[in-house]
A = this chain, B = another copy of it.
Amino acid sequence: MFDQYLKKSLLAVLGGGIAMLVMLAVPAAAQAPEPTAVTAQARPGKVKLPPARSLLDQVRRAGVLRVGVVEQIPWTFTDRSGQLAGFEVDVARALASDLGVRLELVRASATGIADDVAAGHADIGAAGLWFSPQRALVVNYTQPYSEATMRLFASRARAAGRTDVAAYRQADVTLGVLKGSPGEAFAPKAFPLARIRTFERYADLADAVETGGIEAGISMSPRPEFLVHVAGDRIFLPVGSAIATRSESFVTPRGDADILAYLESWIRYRNETGWLKSRRDYWFGSFAWADQIDRK
């Protein structure tokens, strides 16, 4: 049985603390008097707020939206006609269209895009970016407009009746991950008993699973789905859903609340119309785009 003194002291602290919090939490009981109604007019002697100096004003003035992108299939890539295409290109084009301006895509690197936006080399970044403590020191993130999903892909030859994630948490399972990938960081925590083998090149990881050298691999969509697509029944997805997800946001320059507010309401709108889902389904739920890849 618990120490009675401790119990009393805990209760006292808990009681007091909550009570104080709560006085502040009770809404103002008094109702405002019956409202007056007028037609729109300026408030006399109204203190003018500082003029909005948002990126939005610059973009409208310049007539162009410059969106930073990172080449990575299927987010952004050069199609066989030499044009940039992909999920982010569709998103950037729709955004420029709603803003009524021309779109300019700014090629950036995954390690440089945050600095490019902070320095004004691009107005915003759209590159499947999720939160990183480093990037968050130089740019703001919007609410998400998409998400990255991590999946398990397994060798049919080594399946041995394993049809759920628990079956791959065993000591007799070897999981392949790409060096420096989310899977490498995630696998030891989610599969503590399994042996983890790290591959330098993704193609070697894919081959190890396809040829039955190891039981399974972990990587980000759409790569596991793509392997099933190309490897036929030698590779399968033992888990129906993602084993981990990270939301993907636009990044924007610091000190600008308006561009954040614009993008977040735009994302909500393009979700409600079903447009964002339709583009995600096309780029991450199908390979109808695979023949757009330039093979030269």
Contacts and interface: CB of A to CB of B under 8 A. Distances in A.
Contacts of A202: 11-12, 14-15
Given A18-B178, A257-B256, A36 B105 contact: yes
Contact of A111 (B24, B40, B41, B48): B24
Nearest to A55: B49
A160 interface: no
B37 A104 contact: yes
A137 B14 CA distance: 26
A2 B49 contact: no
A171 interface: no
Interface in A138-174: 140-141, 143-144
The number of times this chain is found in the oligomer is: 3
Contact of A257 (B1, B15, B84, B260): B260
Given A40-B107, A232-B1, A102 B35 contact: yes
A97 B28 contact: yes
Nearest to A44: B62
Contacts of A16: 72
Contacts of A8: 203
Contact of A42 (B6, B35, B120, B226): B120
Given A58-B46, A120-B43, A133-B98, A255 B51 contact: yes
A68 B42 CA distance: 12
A72 to B, nearest CB: 3
A223 interface: yes
Given A1-B230, A18-B219, A22-B182, 18 more contacts: A6-B295, A10-B290, A11-B226, A13-B71, A14-B73, A17-B72, A18-B178, A21-B129, A22-B185, A24-B132, A28-B134, A32-B96, A35-B89, A37-B104, A40-B107, A140-B261, A247-B272, A260-B261
13 contacts: A1-B232, A2-B229, A9-B293, A24-B134, A25-B131, A32-B96, A35-B93, A38-B106, A39-B106, A40-B112, A99-B137, A130-B269, A143-B264
